[in-house]
Amino acid sequence: MRRATIVALTLTAACTTTAQPVQDRTCNAEGSESFVGRTASSETGAAILRATHSSVLRWAPPGVMLTMDFSPSRVTVRLGPDGRVTTVNCG
Where do the domains of the chain lie? 2-90
pLDDT for 25: 87
- Return the pLDDT at 57: 97
Whether residue 61 contacts residue 10, with contact meaning beta carbons closer than 8 Å, is answered with yes
Q: Return the closest-CA partner of residue 89 out of 80, 79, 81, 78.
A: 78
* CATH hierarchy code of domain 2-90: 3.30.10.10
Answering whether pTM is above 0.75, one says no
The pLDDT of residue 64 is: 93
Give, for all 91 residues of the chain, the pLDDT tens digit.
Answer: 555 445 444 445 445 554 444 566 899 999 999 999 999 999 999 999 999 999 999 999 999 999 999 999 999 999 999 999 999 999 9
